[in-house]
Amino acid sequence: MSDPSLGLTMLGLIVVAIMMGYPTAFTLMGLGAIFGFIAFWDPAHHWWQNRIFDLIAQRTYGVMTNDTLLSVPLFVFMGYIMERAALVDRMFHSVQLAFRRVPASLAVTTLLVCAFWGIASGIVGAVVVLMGVIAMRPMLKAGYDVKLASGAITAGGTLGILIPPSVMLIVYAAVAGQSIVKLYAAAMLPGFFLTFLYLVYILGWAIINPKIAPKLPPDQYRVTVPEYLRALERGRSRSVVPGLIAAALRPIAAGGAGWRVIARDIAALSVPIMLTFGTFAATWWYVVIYNAPEAATAAVSPATKATAVSTAGPASSPSAPPTATVGARAEDKPQELGAAAEDKPQELGAAGESESPTAPAKPDA
């Protein structure tokens, strides 16, 4: 049996074993060991001298000593914590209330929660299964089309492998020897842009054909709030935010709620603002501050050195024409790209002393 046919046979058996319900990890490990033993079989040696045993030990040790792959079980553990704490249910309900006036609000909510839940877990299967349990029944009960409901869940689940942090990108970076930071930076914009395209498609389909996503009755998105929050409603939209900010300055407007309750609500209100500001601040620091020394070193030009020489020349010698000539020649002479970075930096005074010739002193008359 040739090597290509051996590989194709192993691939076919992997698909068959997984479809039969065998665990993926043991399937890959067992079939890899069996077909590796067949591929490296040498009749001239004993069976325990096969190279596959050395390769299994080396690969196992290499994976165990790889610090990059340590983040994979930590991401899975974080997703498990969020699932057991019922944070996804609360997030789904909160986003549904925020987008209650949008067409196909449940589908939009499902897609957004899938995107953010995929960011937290980075696993497609967990996102699809969990959102299928949480969002499928409410959408079908509200009269949504089955194609729209299932499509929103499955399409949103695929975003988990693209939007950073992603387990797939971590594994790919460890196998290919690439930088995880660069892969995250390259995948972030396409991931969010794909989410935006999904939202546009769902909203457009719901606007063109409203029957596939009926509007929810008011009893499904109205919640009971305390009396002091009703007293803080302002404007035609009955928003609480202006009244809450005014209550921070005048607590009597909150109906005796107290400083602690007002401070807690304002802190909860400022969380999205702080996250947005922190994200932009961290991006600005990484681009402008962290990479500034490399950019400044690469941007050194010969005109800077020529200016320093022409400035220091008159201070070191009364005869400035030779220094000015040297500075003019340095400015007029073209240099190749990258030649400026090879020049050694000199002090401001030393440049004028080393390059400008000393004029002979005139004898006294």
> pLDDT tens digit string along 121-142?
767 777 788 888 888 888 888 8
Is 79:87 a contact under the CB 8 Å cutoff? Answer: no
- In a shared domain, residues 196 and 166: yes
Tell me which of 198, 218, 238 is where a domain ends. Answer: 218
Whole-number Cα distances in Å, 36 to 13, 28, 314: 14, 12, 78
Backbone angles phi, psi at 254, to 5 degrees: -85, 5
- In a shared domain, residues 77 and 201: yes
Backbone angles phi, psi at 234, to 5 degrees: -135, 150
What is the DSSP code string of 268-332? HHHHHHHHHHHHHHHHHIIIIIITHHHHHHHT--HHHHHHHHHHHHHHH-S--HHHHHHHHHHHH
Q: Is residue 358 part of a domain?
A: no
- In a shared domain, residues 214 and 267: no
Q: Is residue 38 part of a domain?
A: yes
d(CA 97, CA 363): 94
**Range(s) of the domain holding residue 132:** 73-218
- In a shared domain, residues 174 and 113: yes
Q: Is residue 113 part of a domain?
A: yes
Tell me which of 156, 187, 218 is where a domain ends. Answer: 218
Q: Is residue 352 part of a domain?
A: no
Q: Is residue 364 part of a domain?
A: no
Q: Is residue 309 part of a domain?
A: yes
- In a shared domain, residues 184 and 307: no
Structure token pair of residue 129: 């299964």
Predicted pLDDT of residue 237: 66
- In a shared domain, residues 39 and 84: no
Predicted pLDDT of residue 342: 46
Which of helix, strand or coil describes residue 174?
helix
* Low-confidence residues in the chain, pLDDT < 70: 1-2, 122, 235, 237, 251-258, 292-365
Is 185:282 a contact under the CB 8 Å cutoff? Answer: no
Q: How many domains does the chain have?
A: 4
- In a shared domain, residues 43 and 160: no
Q: Which contiguous run of DSSP H or E holds residue 172? A: helix 167-176
Contacts of 164 (CB under 8 A, 6+ apart): 119, 183, 184, 187, 188, 191
Whether pTM exceeds 0.75: no
- In a shared domain, residues 131 and 35: no
What residue has token string 């900010």?
245
Q: Is 98 exposed, middle or buried (0-12, 13-18, 19+ CB in 10 A)?
A: middle
- In a shared domain, residues 27 and 131: no
Predicted pLDDT of residue 184: 84
Q: Is residue 296 part of a domain?
A: no
Predicted pLDDT of residue 157: 84
Q: Is residue 349 part of a domain?
A: no
Residues in the chain: 365
- In a shared domain, residues 119 and 50: no
d(CA 192, CA 135): 21
Predicted pLDDT of residue 201: 93
Neighbour-count burial for 292-323, b at 16+ CB within 10 Å, e otherwise:
eeeeeeeeeeeeebbebbbebbeebbeebeeb
d(CA 338, CA 340): 5
- In a shared domain, residues 242 and 306: no
Which of helix, strand or coil describes residue 1?
coil
- In a shared domain, residues 49 and 155: no
